[in-house]
Amino acid sequence: MPTRPCWVEIDTRLVEENFRFLSGLAAPDAELLAVVKADAYGHSLALCAPAAVRAGAGWLGVTSVEEGVAARALCPETRILVIGGAFPGQGPAVVRHRLTAVVWEPWQLEELESAARAAGAASASLPVHLEIDTGMSRQGVASGALAPMLARLVGGSPLRLEGVMTHLFAADEADGAVTAAQLSELQRALHHVEAAGLFPDWLNVGNSAALLAGQARAIAELAGRHGMRAILRPGLALYGLVPGFDPDFTASVPQPLAAARAALKPVLTWKTRVVSVREVPAGAVVGYNGTFVATEPMRLALIAAGYADGLDRRLGNRFSLLVRGQRAPLAGRVSMDQSVLDVTGILGVAPGDEVVLLGTQGGDSITAFDHAEAVGAIPWQIFTGIGARVTRIRV
């Protein structure tokens, strides 16, 4: 059945191209994990995870065991990292679906150990990645508190320390000072790991900003010094957006960032259609509480997109969308399911016309950064805020 016309188009070929480009930045020392958490940042796990795998991704990153189970159904052979860890009772699903959990709490080890034992797993057979808190104070073990965790992973446990992970929390700061401090802290943790007689395969570090700022080399070298290989974990860049740097690079832009600015292509376009067009006289008010008043006779176009679709309510009266290749301002408040555009200045707008909320139409584009800037958000939040009822279509 045709759906209400509010949809997202995903160019899966661009997901593949972006992944290949990013792999080139990391190679030959490091491998990439494609971050497809939160329904691939709203881009559809079902469309994007297989695309990343077609482009050569050996690893996918999801938030939860639930997302991991969904990813496993789509990608039977790919390694799947559960970044947010397993919750109580989820151990058996981790084992059954061959997921790889990030761990940092003793109770997580217990949960996974008992699930592995119940499934008859051999010793050192269920891989886990241990997260180290190198300064973000969010998730992970402090390097000084590692000993008891490491002690549980040696000798007889069905768990195998396959990876050591950390999250860089200021990789988008151009001076790199915070990242350098985090990598030193990580190095301290790796000494503790070796001293405990554990020799993991993977050092799992770094988001899009780290990769584009040129940190892949430092991370791969740190991994190499400890007999490991590096995994970097780009998310936003996979979907074609280059994260902003603050402060930005002034003198010399790192080569990977300069290349990415030219090469990465946004894969998502968000569209709706004009439902009806009406002429209103001067003085007519538009939308809830009449916050827009027609200053002259005007033409208004109703569109099938509202805040329940992810079009932020704060955009009312302060943002424009694309119709017939031109910018049409949102007139009045954004409603739950509908909004109104002022199309007085755009000739020939008619029911059925395509409206672009995010993406390119004609020669003009609206980016996730534009949406984010207008409402004090970030592109990640704009993408993940596109409603579940908005159909995702592969183009």
Contact between residue 39 and residue 262 where contact means Cβ atoms under 8 Å apart: no
Nearest-approach distance from CB 291 to ligand PLP, in angstroms = 35
Rounded CA-CA distance 164/144 in Å is: 15
| Least separation in angstroms between CB 210 and ligand PLP | 8
Instruction: Say how far apart CA 137 and CA 250 lie, in whole Å.
Output: 30
- Residue 129 C-beta: closest distance to ligand PLP, Å: 10
Torsion 73-79-80-86 (CA) sign: positive
Residue indicated by tokens 């290949």: 20
Please state the closest distance from residue 262 (CB atom) to ligand PLP, in A.
19
Q: Which is nearer to ligand PLP, 113 or 172 (CB)?
A: 172
Q: Which residues bind ligand PLP (CB under 6 A)?
A: 35, 37, 83, 167, 207-209, 233-237
What is the C-alpha to C-alpha distance for residues 258 and 252, in angstroms, rounded to an integer? 10
Please, what is the minimum distance in Å from the beta carbon of residue 240 to ligand PLP? 12
Closest to 210 measured CA to CA, from 200, 198, 219: 219
Q: State the catalytic residues.
A: 37, 288
What is the distance between the alpha carbons of residues 349 and 101, in angstroms, rounded to a whole number? Answer: 52
- Strand, helix or coil for residue 142: strand
Q: Which is nearer to ligand PLP, 260 or 286 (CB)?
A: 260
CA distance 356 to 263: 23
Q: Which amino acid is at 112?
A: L
Residue nearest to ligand PLP (CB): 235
Least Å from the CB of residue 212 to ligand PLP: 9
Nearby residues of 328 by Cβ (< 8 Å), 6 or more positions away: 301, 320, 321, 322, 341, 342, 343, 346, 349, 355
Counting beta carbons within 10 angstroms of the beta carbon of residue 20, is it exposed (0 to 12), middle (13 to 18) or buried (19 or more)?
Answer: middle
